Structure 1
Amino acid sequence: MRHHDLVVLGAGSGNAVIDGRFSGLDVAIVEEGPFGGTCLNRGCIPSKMLAHTAEVADGVREADRFDVDAALGGVRWTEARERVFGRLDQQAADGEQGRRRSGFVTVHRGRARFTGARTLVVEGDRGEVRLGAEQVVVAVGSRPVVPPPVRESGLPYETSDTVMRRPTPPRHLAVLGGGYIAAELAHVFHSAGSRVTVVEQQDTLLAPQDESVSRAYTRIVRDLFDVRTGAALSRLEGEPGHLRLLLDDGSTIEADTLLVAVGRTPNSDTIDADRAGIALRDDGRIVVDAHLRTTAPGVFALGDVCTPVPLKHVANREAQVVAHNLLNPDDPTAISHDTVPAAVFTRPQIAQVGLTEQECRARGLDHVTAIRRYADVAYGWALEDTTGFCKVIADPGTRRLLGAHILGPQASTLIQPLAIAMSLGIDVPTLAGTPYWIHPALTEVVANALLDLNL
């Protein structure tokens, strides 16, 4: 058995745990796929690079709104795909080689599973390797959920893991699911020329968003996609390239490609966690405390395999916390997920932080709201925007924000001052009245929404 001081399972955000402070230790990383994990290879980064390509194409299509004569010749999908993945695949390869050349990190290729307390077996192309460690970090991520009607059909389907590497855009893409992954990829392929049909069981798309946002987004994309809300897939039939989706409302969709985007599930079921004494939640997430320690001594976890907020910027912060706690066991630091901002890079862009209005009602919280439209501010006029808005929710007693929600261009950037205010406990009057807000920047829509709260 090969013994290491530290073994990290997963080279996505798990790889971010290891820096120069660990150079005096014998460290190992176990990874089955390319370095960089989901984010770099099949998630956040390629989807946003392609989403920006879609934004450029849509901008050309809409140029006439700005009295500009322009014509879109089309999206050169093959070239766009190669531009994106040619860069990212090299990043993944460089990341692995950098670790191998570090002098203190051993890379074990394969899938790891526990055989006991901080003992593992790695099954790879070259057979089995048995490892022991003083400490272990589990960062094995998550994978797309595939519902039984799809899985049992035996017919081909795509997930976010595969669809962006397609050689050509689908003629007709059926998207099963109405969450953020579905929204972003529907946007990408619609702009690339695909006809898109979206199927969602809820009454609106992006249902976990604030009700004002989910209703507005659903209304907007009905003009772009065939949207089937309040319906679920009963059966998948047909043959490759000619699929039939039978829905429980009696309707049928015919498409050449199916994208399954109904959620993700932790990869905790791949590591034999019980053999290590690692407890799991009912949804499969590893149980961790505020210091990201599992129920097994010497074993930490981070990222999608354990977090209640499966986002890359959360996993990166968790990696910082784990790194500190590995090196400073007598002075541990804790993680907080109280005010995590998030964005959906679709069209229109969406961003949020804190509670939705429906969550405030469900918790019985006293709250006030204000909404300012992009069309109310000068830069909104410049954008000719008629649908964007900023919604803020505050506690009238403390005068602090409970939540904020933005739909429209630059939403992922505009949310940040609101996230900072919530994280630092800055009240609404101070945030609205102390700093200057640039005129005529789009940030005025945020400032004016805050002023409209009248706190």
Structure 2
Amino acid sequence: MKSIKTDILVIGAGSAGLSMAAGAVQMGARVVLLEGHRMGGDCLNYGCVPSKALLAAGKAAQAQARANAFGVGGAAPEVDYAAVMAHVQDVIATIAPVDSVERFEGLGVQVIREYGAFISPTEVQAGDTVITARRIVIATGSGPLVPPIPGLDSVPYLTNETLFDLRTRPAHLLIIGGGPIGMEMAQAHRRLGARVTVIEGARALGADDPETAAIVLDALRAEGVEIVEGALAAEIRGSAGAVEVAAKDGRVFKGSHLLIAAGRKSNVDRLALDKAGIETTPRGIRVDDSLKTTNSRVYAIGDVAGGLQFTHVASYHAGIVIRSALLGLPAKARTAHIPWATYTAPELAQVGLTEAQARKKHGARLEVVRHEYAHNDRAIAERATSGLIKVMVVRGRPVGASIAGAQAGELIGLWALALANNMKMSQIAAMVAPYPTLGEVNKRAAGTYFSPRLFESLWVKRAVRSVQRWLP
């Protein structure tokens, strides 16, 4: 058995672990990184990267199908599904060197390609090596949650970890789960020529504002995606190529393939956390505001910490722990300024409080300002007028923003900046956006907040008349 002593031990080489390892080693710490599976974790291999590559292929197919709207001859796209998946793998391969063993060893990180498990509060065993570290960071991420639906264990099914291995297009894809993963894969496959039925036990895109979510759901239904809400899966039947999902209310849905997109679960099973005195919750590892576990020498970051499960949150968490574990400075993670997006077309994005959450928290002090994409000249030019921005404002400061529409994931960044820095609506209104851009949607939303104060105020009108009488 070999022994290693180090400053920082990082368990898991996904987005959180790689950010932590790169930051720590470049700041002068000795770093050991463990990864028993694929470098880059879920995001690179099964999540963000391949799903967006598949969505891009679907977008290309849809552009061809809709070309007539722009005076260009349109035709039904000819989709080579195997070639589409080759494109997806090429995208992964292009990004992979950034997350590779070679790159991190070049930075000075000692990479061990083994899973790690605690053997004491300060020691982790990985293969035939025991690592003792001053600080340990758990960054093992999450995996697909497979619910215990009767019959599922006897029927072939896909998750995000196996979907991208397909080379033959599903004839009719059934998707259990109407969250972001389910809806993105539904639209991508519909645009690539498959029939798609989404089966959701509650409300599709239920974590988002219902009004903005409805814009996205209406668009997907218009493209031919069947979205069934309030259909809790009770039984799975069938075999390869002929799958049935029976809902609790008696409805039965038939298809050729089944994708389970019912949420995520934190990867903690291999870690032997009890040997390190680390407690868990139903969502993941228990952490405090500084991301420390119940073992003060151990942190948990990213998906495994049980909070918001997004790649950008993983990187944010790494920054918090670098400040604390390397520099000894106080640092606490916040969530109020963290945005998220669903990359359907139109996109759906959120930061801070939704309207319902803001009304519950702030009551009569809340003002909701709205601006529709239909009034944006760039959206009109690109025939992308289905969209809406809502900004929740309290005493002149935004507390949340919801956007449905083209490039919502890009537009939400401004409001994330505003919430992170406690900015005022007047500062947003002072911004000059280039014309014509979709970015003007943000500027117009801020203008909508001030319009009644300027154009409907008797005091303002009287002041202007008074000044006009005295001006030469």
Normalised by the length of structure 2, the TM-score is: 0.89
Amino acid at match of 1:9: I
1:146 CA drift (Å): 0.6
Query: Please, which of 335, 348, 371 is the counterpart of residue 350 of structure 1?
Result: 348
Structure with greater Cα Rg: 2
Could you tell me how far 1:255 is from its partner in structure 2?
0.8
2:288 corresponds to: 289
More helix by share: 2
Indicate how the Cα distance of structure 1 residues 306 and 250 shifts in structure 2: closer, same or farther if over 3 A, else same. same
Secondary structure of 2:50's counterpart equals helix
Distance in 1, matches of 2:296 and 2:198, equals 45
Whole-Å separation in 2 of the counterparts to 1:142 and 1:354? 24
- 1:33 deviation in Å? 1.2
Partner of 1:303: 302
1:9 maps to 11
State the match for 1:38 in structure 2: 42
Structure-2 change in CA distance of 1:293 and 1:347 (3 Å): same
Q: Which runs of 5+ in 1 are unaligned?
A: none
Shift of 1:352: 1.3
Correspondences of 1:12-27 after superposition (within 5 Å):
12=14, 13-19=16-22, 22=25, 25-27=29-31
- List per-residue Cα deviations over 1:234-284 (Å, max 9, x = no partner): 100111111111111211111111111110011123312121011222x23
Shift of 1:343: 1.0
- Note the 1:110-259 alignment, pairs <5 A: 110-123=114-127, 128-149=128-149, 152-202=152-202, 204-223=203-222, 224-259=224-259
Tell whether 2:405 aligns with 1:408: yes
- Unaligned segments of structure 2, at least 5 residues: 454-472
Change (3 A) 1:320 1:409: same
SS, match of residue 453 in structure 1: helix
- Determine the structure 1 residue equivalent to 2:462: none
**Aligned-residue CA RMSD in angstroms?**
2.1
Q: Give the alignment of 1:37-116 within 5 angstroms.
A: 37-89=41-93, 91-92=95-96, 95-99=99-103, 101-102=105-106, 104-116=108-120
Q: Answer with 348-357 or 331-340: which moved more.
A: 331-340
Query: Who is 1:264 aligned against?
Result: 264
Q: Residue 326 of structure 1: CA displacement? A: 2.4
1:17·1:323 contact (CA, 8 Å) conserved in 2?
Answer: yes
| Local SS of the residue matching 1:418 | helix
What is residue 419 of structure 2 aligned with on the other side? Answer: 422
Tell me if structure 1 keeps the 8 A contact 2:397–2:422.
yes
Letter in 1 for 2:383: E
Structure 1 residue 26, shift from structure 2 partner: 4.3
Q: Is the 8 A contact 2:65 2:77 kept in 1?
A: no
Output the CA distance in 1 between the equivalents of 2:333 and 2:105.
31
Q: Check conservation: 1:4, 1:27, Cα contact below 8 A.
A: no
Q: Report how far residue 216 of structure 1 moved.
A: 2.5
Percent identity of equivalent pairs: 31
Q: 1:144 and 1:168 mapped to 2: Cα distance?
A: 22
Cα separation, 2, equivalents of 1:142 and 1:383: 38
Please say which of residues 341-350 and 417-426 is displaced more in the overlay: 417-426
User: Any idea what SS the aligned residue of 1:218 has?
Assistant: helix
SS at match of 1:148: coil
Deviates further, 400-409 or 285-294: 285-294
How many correspondences in the alignment? 445
The answer as to whether partners of 1:41 and 1:89 remain within 8 angstroms in 2 is no
1:53-73 deviation digits (Å, cap 9, x = unpaired): 211211111111111113243
2:399 partner SS: strand
Aligned amino acid, residue 2 of structure 1: S
Matched letter for residue 385 of structure 1:
A
- SS of the residue 2:296 aligns to: coil
Contact 1:99 1:106 (8 Å CA) reproduced:
no
